[in-house]
Chain A
Amino acid sequence: MNSLLDTLGLRDRDASVSGALCVRVERERFAEVATLLAHNHHLPLSLLYATDDRKTQGTYGVHAVFEGGQSGWLMLSTALPSDDARYASVTRTVLAAHWYERYAADMFGIVADGHPDPRRLVLHENMPEGVHPLRKDFAWNTRLPHANVPYPMHHVDGEGIYEIPVGPIHAGIIEPGHFRFNVAGERIIALEGKLFFTHKGCEKLLEGKNAKAALPFIERISGDASASHALAFCQAMETLAGCAVPARANDIRTLLCELERITMHVFDIGNIIGNGTGYTVLAAHGFRLREDMMRLSHSLCGNRFWRGMIVPGGCARDLDDRALRAVRSCLDAVCFDAARLFAMAMRSDAVRERLETTGTLRRDAALAYGAVGTTARASGIDRDVRRDHPYASYPRCPFRVAVHTSGDVYARLLVRSEELAASAAIVRHLLQDFSSGPILVPCSPTSGTAIGAVESWRGELLHVVRMHEGVIDRCAVRDPSFCNWPLFGEIGPGNIVPDFPLCNKSLNLSYSGTDL
C-alpha cells in the first residue's frame, strides 16, 4: 500500500489516524486520486464523509475511505477553505460516492462541483435552504421555520406510463419510506426512493459525548444490528486507546454478533420465502424461530436486541457455563428447524420460480454502486470484513464466505442460508473451546481518529470516530443500508410491480441505520 501511494506521489501522511493509512491531498487532486484508486487499483470506496474543522484549522475536511483488502483501510483526506467549501465531485467517475456527496452537501453545505445529481437527499421540503445541521455552529436543539423547498423525484413521461406512489406510511409495521414507481402496465420503468423521514440526529448528538455516554446511542442506530454497531464503535475506541481486548471478551463479542446474524438470517429466510411469495406457513415458522433467538437474547443480555453487552474495553457481563449451554441448545434447535424449512421451500418449484431471475443485480452494477454485504456477495463480489480485516475471534474460526453469481433474489436467499450454516459452525467452534480469563480492561481513548469495521449480518459496517480530549468530535457511522438503498433504482426496473416486495425483502435494508 505504501509503495502504491509513493507511485501516486502521495507522501503527506496523517499520523493522527490509527487503524488506517491516511494521506492528505490538495483538493484539486482529490477526485483525481480517488478515481485512480477506485478504477486503476480496484479499491472499493467504502465511505466518504465530511468534517467541520473550522475551529481548529479553519477548513472543512472531506475524507474518502477505501477498502484495501489485505493491506488494510486507506483514507484519503482533503481540506476545503471555509469560505469556499467546494471540490470537484468524485461521483462523476466513482458512482459509489453519489449519496455520500449529497449527504455532505445537505449536512455541511460542502458543494461537490459537477455532481450529476445535486438534489437534496436528507433534508426534505420542510427544511429551509442554507441549513446544514452537522456544522459545528448549528445547535442540535435549533427550532427551524417550516419551509417549502421542492424535492423533485425521478419522473417518466409518456403514453401509458403510470405513476404509483407508495408510502411513506406502509401497511406493515416498518419505518417510513416513500417509493415512486413509474410503470408501463406492470413493468417498472423507473423507481426512486425517498427516505430520511425520521432523522434522529444521532451524529450530532454523539458529538461532545465520551465513549460510555455515546454507546446507548450507537446501539440504537439500527435495532436489528445493535451488537454489530456497538462492536464497530468499541473497536474504534479501543484502537484509539491502544488497549488489547481480552480473549474471553473477544469470544463473547463474536458469539453475540454471530447470534445476531443467525437471528436476522432466520427472519429473512422466513420473510423472503414466506411473506414475499405468500408461502405463509414458512413465514409463520421463520418468525417463530426468530422469536426463539430473541428470547435467547433476553436470557443472555436482558433485552431482545443483543444490546448492553459489548462495551469499550471488552464486555459488560460474563456468560457462565449455563448461559453457554443455553446458547448451544437454542442454536441446535433453531438451525435444525431452519434447515428443514429451507429444504421444504427449495423442494417447491413454485417458490423457486418466484425467486429466480427476480430482482437481478449484475456484478458490474453492484461494484459501481458500492454494494456491500449479502447483496454484493449474491452478485459475485467476494468481500467479507470478517475474513479480509479479521477482528474479535474470527482469526481462529474457520469459515467460508458464501458467494453466488446470479445476483437475483434466489442468490441472496442462498447466500443467507449458507451464512446461517457458517455462523452456526462458528458459534459451535467457539463454544467447544471458549477462552477463559478477564472480560474487561480499562479503555480511555483521548485524541485521534480511528476506524472500526465489522461485518454485520447486512454487510460491511463502518464507524470512523474522531475523538478530541476524551470526547467525540465527529462520529461518521456508515450502516450497510446506506450503500445498498440506491440499488433499488437498479434492481427494480425490468421487474413487475407485484415482485417488488420480494426484491425489497431480499435486501432487507434499515431505514433507521440510514437515517442517522
Chain B
Amino acid sequence: MSVFVFFLQGTVVLLLAPLATGCVRWCKARFQGRHGASPFLPYVRFLTLLRKEMVIAETASWIFHAAPFVVLCTAVFVAFSLPLLTSAPPPGGLDNFILFAAILALGSVFLVLGGLDPGTAFGGMGASREMTLASLVEPAMITALAAFAVVSDNSAISGMLAAGGASLLQHPALVLSLVALGLVALAENARYPVDNPATHLELTMVHEAMILEYSGAYLAIIELASSIRLTVFALLLANLLVPFPLLATAISFSGALATIGATVAKLVIAMFLLALWESSIPKMRFYRMQEYLSGAFFIALAGLAFSLLSLP
C-alpha cells in the first residue's frame, strides 16, 4: 500500500509540473499587462518538442546524450521519494535530506557536463556560472534542512513533517531556516534574482546558457526536469510551512482527492507568489550572487544555531 502512495504522488507531481511553469509565466504576463499564454501551454510545448527533430553538435560525445536522462532521473527520483503529497516515510529512507541535496547536485553536475560537452562558448559560460552558484547553494541548503533535522531528531524529510516533528509553531527559529531554504530554492531553480528564465540575452543566462545546444526531445526532457524540480521545491516549502493535508500510508479515495486538490492549490499559490516576486524586482548583478547566497547560508546557520539552543 505504501508503494501505491508514492506511485500516486510521483504521478501527480509529474503531471502537475508543466502547469507550474505555465502558471508562473501566465501570472507574470498578467502583471506586465499582457494577456499571457495559457498556463497549459507547457504541455503542448512538451509534446511539440518531443516530435521535433534534434540538431546535435558534431563535437558532442555520449555525455551530451546522457545528461538529459540523468537530469530527468534525479528530478523524478525526488518527485517520488520526498514527502510532497504524503508524510509516510518512503521505503529504505530515500528521503534523507543529505541524499536529497546530493541527488540535486548530481543533476546539476550532469547539466553542467552537458553544457560543456559540445564545446560552445555559451555552454561553457553557463557551466562556469552554474558551478559557482552550486558551490554556494549546497552548504546553505544542507544547513537549512539540518535545522529541521535537529528539532525533529530525524534526518528523513518525512520525519520532519510528521506529527511531533519540526512544527514552526513549536520551533519559531525554523522560520529562519525556511527563509534560507526559500532563497536557496530560487537559486537552485534558476529564478530571480539569480537567473532570469525568460531572457533572450545569452550573455546574462545561467541555466538557459547550458541548455542552448539542446533541441527536440532532449530539450523537452530537460524542460520537464526543470519544471519537476520547481514543483518539488514549491511543494516541499509549502509542506514545511503547512504540513497538511498529507496522505498517510492507508488512504481513502476522498482523502486522496482532498490532498490532490490541496496540492494544486499550494502549487498555484506558490507560483503566483513567485511571479509576484519576479515582477517586482530586477535581476541581481552576477557578482552580487555570493552576497545573496552567503546571506542565505548565514540565515540558515542562525536557524540551526537557534534550533540547537532551543533543544531541551
Interface residues of A (CB under 8 A from B): 162-166, 171-172, 185-186, 273, 275, 277-281, 283-285, 288, 348, 350-351, 353-354, 358, 496-501
| Contact residue among A172, A277, A284, A498 (Cβ-Cβ distance under 8 Å from B282) | A277
Query: 20 extra interchain contacts, Cβ-Cβ under 8 A, other than A162-B125, A164-B125, A497-B203?
Result: A162-B124, A163-B121, A164-B121, A164-B203, A171-B202, A172-B201, A185-B128, A186-B286, A278-B192, A278-B199, A278-B283, A280-B28, A281-B31, A285-B32, A348-B282, A350-B282, A496-B287, A498-B286, A500-B203, A501-B201
Give complex CA distance A497, B124 in Å.
13
| Contact status A497-B284, CB under 8 Å | no
Binary A-proximity of B120-139 (CB < 8 A = 1, otherwise 0)? 01101100110000000000
| Contact status A351-B282, CB under 8 Å | yes
Q: Does B259 reach chain A (CB closer than 8 Å)?
A: no
A275 and B203 in contact (CB under 8 A), knowing A186-B286, A288-B33, A496-B287?
A: no
Contacts of A283 in B (CB 8 A): 32
Question: In this complex, which of A163, A186, A500 has the most chain B Cβ atoms within 10 angstroms of its Cβ?
Answer: A186
Number of interface residues of B (CB under 8 A): 32
Binary A-proximity of B192-204 (CB < 8 A = 1, otherwise 0)? 1100101111111
Interface residues of B (CB under 8 A from A): 28, 31-34, 121-122, 124-125, 128-129, 192-193, 196, 198-204, 278-288
| Contact status B122-A164, CB under 8 Å | yes
Distance in Å: Cβ of A87 to nearest Cβ of chain B = 40
Contacts of A277 in B (CB 8 A): 282-283
| Contact status B34-A284, CB under 8 Å | yes
Contacts of A358 in B (CB 8 A): 285
Contacts of B287 in A (CB 8 A): 186, 496
Distance in Å: Cβ of B192 to nearest Cβ of chain A = 7
Contacts of B122 in A (CB 8 A): 164
Give complex CA distance A8, B198 in Å.
60
Question: In the complex, what residue of chain A is closest to B31 when comparing beta carbons?
Answer: A281
Distance in Å: Cβ of A178 to nearest Cβ of chain B = 12
Question: In the complex, what residue of chain B is closest to A352 when comparing beta carbons?
Answer: B282
Question: In this complex, which of A162, A163, A164 has the most chain B Cβ atoms within 10 angstroms of its Cβ?
Answer: A164
| Contact status A279-B282, CB under 8 Å | yes
| Contact residue among A165, A186, A273, A284 (Cβ-Cβ distance under 8 Å from B121) | A165
Give complex CA distance A280, B33 in Å.
11
Contacts of A172 in B (CB 8 A): 200-201
| Contact status A280-B202, CB under 8 Å | no
| Contact status A278-B203, CB under 8 Å | no
Question: In the complex, what residue of chain B is closest to A171 when comparing beta carbons?
Answer: B200
Distance in Å: Cβ of A437 to nearest Cβ of chain B = 43
Give complex CA distance A275, B196 in Å.
10
Give complex CA distance A500, B281 in Å.
20
Distance in Å: Cβ of B44 to nearest Cβ of chain A = 22
Contacts of B279 in A (CB 8 A): 280-281
Give complex CA distance A285, B279 in Å.
12
A348 and B281 in contact (CB under 8 A), knowing A186-B286, A284-B34?
A: yes
| Contact residue among A185, A278, A285 (Cβ-Cβ distance under 8 Å from B33) | A285
Contacts of B203 in A (CB 8 A): 164, 166, 497-498, 500-501
